[in-house]
Structure 1
Amino acid sequence: MKILFLVFPLLLLLVQGAAGDFILCRRKGGFCTFGGCKYPTTPVGRCSRVQVCCKR
């Protein structure tokens, strides 16, 4: 149970970092998607390690 006090702040930091990249992607006019961008879209950044920011 003591490890829970260490895991919880780490989880909050990860969520906060991912939210900032999502907002930055939206400001660029893009959207976050898992994997890669499909044909008519182009990658313009990253939202997280597994999500790519795509723009039409």
Structure 2
Amino acid sequence: MRILYLLFPFVLLLAQGAAGSPLGINNEKECQRQNGYCGFLKCHYPFVTSGRCSRFYFCCKNVWG
């Protein structure tokens, strides 16, 4: 019975990872469709990260719209 307490958090972590990215955008075309661009590792001001284009590229969208 004690092992169930240890397995339960592990199962929750697996389920959370299977749900996908919490950030909506997950490819370059979708980023560009929403008036963004793909930046390497980070976005420069006045842009903020709004998703991922690939492993090291993030979708950057303007803060002001």
- Paired-residue identity, %: 43
Higher helix share: 1
Structure 2 gaps of 5+ residues are 1-25
Alignment size in residue pairs? 37
* Cα RMSD, aligned residues only: 1.4
1:23 aligns with 2:23: no
TM-score by length of 1: 0.60
TM-score by length of 2: 0.52
- For 1:35, the equivalent position in structure 2 comes to 41
| Cα distance in 2 between the residues matched to 1:36 and 1:52 | 7
Structure 1 gaps of 5+ residues are 1-19
